[in-house]
Structure formats: structure tokens, C-alpha cells
Structure 1
Amino acid sequence: MTDLATLNRMDAPAFEALLGPVFEHAPWVARAAWARRPFTGIADLHAAMMAVLRAAPAETRRAFFNGHPELAGPEARARILTADSASEQGSAGLDRMEAADAAVFDRLNAAYRARFGFPFIIAVRGRGRAEIRSVFEARLGQDPDAEEATALDEVAQITRMRLERLITP
């Protein structure tokens, strides 16, 4: 773990190297947030990083969403997830499902992507498969704008947990 004082003293490449992976395949978020130093706490750091993401053009946010893996999807089966995603999906048992359960997630993933144009994003840590499936099914009925807002809220939860594992106040 890195303490906040050290983080605030880092040059841009070191800052990006440490925090770049926090936002899935989007080191540009850390790169842009670096200029907002010094941070008074993890909440301040996280708010700055989320502000970068929220201020990005719609097509950039869409590309960011599409950088996320599908839940229990092809990347997970091929074991090519980022370390954070593998750990998070594994914490919910999504990496060890029976074929019938995997088929349900495949169907949900396909329906979600067809409806919204990006993978379903949810903070899975602390949730079980049944709860995730229920939320997945419910969110399929959302309006696209509301779903994008929900996906951003889920990204905020995921990235906050990741930062709390990396930075000490």
C-alpha cells in the first residue's frame, strides 16, 4: 500500500503506474487526475478521478465501459481478466459456475449488450451470484440514459474499493 503523502509527491508517470489500473483499461483517468493533486484523502482522490471520467465525452465513456469484461464471460473463461477483475468476479463465485448458470449469464450478457451497447457493470464484491443475477435482470429494463448513470455509479463503487486497497490515508 502507498500512503497519501507519498502519492501526492509522485511524478505523473509513477502516479499513473500506480493508479492506472484502478479504472479498467483506462490509465488516462489517473493521468488526468494527477494534475488535481494534492489530495486530502481517498475520498478526494476518488472524487477527482470520477470527475475526470464523468467529464469525458460520451464516446470516451462508452469506450471505457466497453473496456470492461462481461460477467462470467469469454475473458473470464479464458482467464485473461485483469487481476482486479479476476479477484472481484472470483469473490462472487462467477469463475466457478455450472454450465447451466454460465448459460444464463451468457444470455443476460448478450441481451444487455444488445440493449445498451456495453457490458453489464456491477460492483460484485460482497454480493452473491443470485443477487447479481437478480440485479442484472432488473437493470435490463432500464432506460438507456438511466442505465449509463447506474453503470457510472457501479464504476464509482468498484474503483473506490480498489483505491482503498491501494492507498492508506
Structure 2
Amino acid sequence: MTTQDTSRLTLTDVNAMTREEFVAALGGIFEHAAWVAEEAHARLPLADAEALHAAMTDVVRAAPAERVLAFLNGHPELAGSEARAGTMTDDSTGEQKSAGLDSLSAAEVEEMTTLNRAYREAHGFPFILAVRGRDKETVLEELRTRTARPTPAEREEALTQITHITHQRLTRLVK
């Protein structure tokens, strides 16, 4: 007898959800932005999980610039104050832990704090990186490199990284 992963939703389940059920199930895919799920629900039914992710990503991409900036600012800094206070979402906590950001040395915490501050001052939103599959050295190098880039390029890169993050999250939730 085989066991099934009953914690994952099927696309049939998702397509049959009311708006409230959809938001309850998928509202956390995009960090602190249940509005993405609220708006994406109108695009149901969808053919597959990739189409579901594309619909949700399209909602973000179509949002006004002010809403996108607020959305970006809803993301926690890597190894930042939310991580130290234990107030991040479970997804963010697991993602940062997977890259070793929960076990930085005192010197690495200081460098991360300084770099996070410089990045936010330069761009007006936190540094966003899909950290699963990366280590802390790679994360620090990305932060050092990307701080000096032009803000429009960084805004686009942040949205691209969010696409990677949310794809990983959705893949774990919907089969």
C-alpha cells in the first residue's frame, strides 16, 4: 500500500475553492500579501500549477508602483531584526535557515546588518533573494554586489527573486 501526501492540494481542489477558501489556502504564498490570492482567484479555473503561479505573479506585476513598493517592503530583511525576534513567517524562517542565516557569527550578523541598511537606503526596500540552495557566503556576496546596482534593476530583480521564492512555496503546497 502506498501513502499519499494529503497535505498538498490538487489543482482540482484549488479550482473548486471559494474566494475565501482560496485566500485561506494560498494567501501566504506571497509574503504578507493576501491581496495577490484575492485577485488571482478571479482567474480560476486554471490548467495546472504553473498557470496558477503565473496568474498570481501577473497580479503583482500588474499592480500600481506604490502597491508593488509596499509589497516589497513587506518582506523581511535576511537575518534581520524579524529573524532575531522570531517574528517571520514559517516559510521565511525555513528558507533563511536553509541558507544558514540562523547561525551567523557575530561578525557576520554585523556585516549583514550593515549591508541590509545600505541596501534599503539605496533602494527603498529590503534585499530580496531566493535563498534555498544557497549558503550564507553566497547570500552575503549577492547583497554586496546588488547594493550598488541601479534601483530600477533591483526592483526588477527583487520581483524575479520573489517569483522564484513563491514558485518554490507553491510547488510544496499544490500538486
Normalising by structure 1, what TM-score? Answer: 0.98
Match of residue 4 from structure 2? none
Question: Does residue 53 of structure 2 align to residue 41 of structure 1?
Answer: no
Aligned match for 2:27, one of 12, 20, 31 = 20
CA distance in 2, matches of 1:121, 1:4: 29
Question: Does residue 148 of structure 2 align to residue 148 of structure 1?
Answer: no
CA distance in 2, matches of 1:122, 1:143: 16
RMSD across aligned positions (CA): 0.5
Q: Which runs of 4+ in 1 moved over 2 A?
A: none
Aligned match for 1:2, one of 9, 13, 16 = 9
State the 1:144 CA deviation: 0.7
Match of residue 122 from structure 1? 129
CA distance in 2, matches of 1:39, 1:133: 38
Alignment-mate amino acid for residue 144 of structure 1? T
Structure 2: gaps (5+ residues): 1-7
Alignment-mate amino acid for residue 63 of structure 1? A
Aligned match for 1:134, one of 141, 148, 162 = 141
CA distance in 1, matches of 2:144, 2:100: 18
Question: Does residue 132 of structure 2 align to residue 111 of structure 1?
Answer: no
Structure 1: gaps (5+ residues): none
Q: What CA deviation, in whole Å up to 9, does each residue of 1:20-64 have, x standing for no partner?
A: 000000000000000001111111001100100000000000000
CA distance in 2, matches of 1:71, 1:132: 9
Q: What CA deviation, in whole Å up to 9, does each residue of 1:76-130 have, x standing for no partner?
A: 0011100000000010110111110000100110000000011000000000011
Residue correspondence of structure 1 range 58-97 to structure 2 within 5 A: 58-97=65-104
State the 1:151 CA deviation: 0.3
Alignment-mate amino acid for residue 10 of structure 1? M
CA distance in 1, matches of 2:79, 2:14: 34
Match of residue 164 from structure 1? 171
Aligned residue pairs, count:
168
Question: Does residue 108 of structure 2 align to residue 101 of structure 1?
Answer: yes
Identity %: 49
CA distance in 2, matches of 1:123, 1:143: 20
